[in-house]
Amino acid sequence: MHDAPSAKELIEAVKAFIDKTAAPQLTGHAAFHARVASNALATVLRELEIRPAAEAEEKARLEALLGTTGDSANALNAQLCEAIRAGQMDLSTEGLLPHLKSTTIAQLSVDQPGYSGLRSAAR
């Protein structure tokens, strides 16, 4: 399969169309939704860049934390949730909070990089 244009280029083109052509012609509710749409595409662009490495790191941390291997970060997260729910892990568990913090910082770097809580976490 080719990638010319790449997914990134296509999304950038659509985002530029919304920002420069469509949004300026819209008013009221539609203009608001155009801004939200443009922001959603910006999220996808950040995700394309950040997710592969961040998720691989997350998976490695989860395997170390749980002492097991898994097919995906998703499956390991379900296991982690079960362990927390069952009371086998809590705030006093070595490495749990730092892992969750690293994962959430990566997630926010995709979702809402300007969020104030992200700055507080970095301090």
Partner 1 sequence: MGNGIEIEKPLTAWAEAHFGAGSRLEGLKRLSGGASQETWAFDVAAPDITHVLILRRAPGGVAAARSSEAVSLATEAALLGATSRAGVRVPEVLHVSAPGTPLGEAFVMRRVAGETLGRKILRDDEYKTARTRLTRDCGEALAGIHAIPTAGLVDLPRSLGEDQITKYEAIYRGFGMPRPVLELAFAWLKANAPAPAAPVLVHGDFRLGNLIVDGNGLAAVLDWELAHIGDPREDIAWVCVNSWRFGHSEKRVGGFGDLPEMLDAYAAAGGARFTPAEIDWWEILGSLKWGVMCMIMYSAYKTGADPSVERAAIGRRVSENEIDLINLFEGLGRHA
Q: How far is the CB of 107 from partner 1 (least distance, A)?
A: 4
In angstroms, the CA 15 to CA 100 distance is 32
Cβ distance 14 to 51 under 8 Å? no
Q: How far is the CB of 120 from partner 1 (least distance, A)?
A: 5
Binding status of residue 100 toward partner 1 by CB under 8 A: yes
Binding mask 56-95 for partner 1 (x = CB under 8 A): ---------------------xx-xx--xx-x--xx----
Taking every pair of C-alpha atoms in the chain, what is the biggest distance, in angstroms?
A: 56
CA distances from 87 to 38, 68, 90 (A): 42, 18, 7
For tokens 């169309």, name the residue. Answer: 17
Binding status of residue 118 toward partner 1 by CB under 8 A: yes
Q: How far is the CB of 6 from partner 1 (least distance, A)?
A: 22
Binding status of residue 37 toward partner 1 by CB under 8 A: yes
Binding status of residue 116 toward partner 1 by CB under 8 A: yes
Nearest to 110 by CA among 39, 19, 33, 35: 39
Binding status of residue 39 toward partner 1 by CB under 8 A: yes
Q: How far is the CB of 4 from partner 1 (least distance, A)?
A: 28
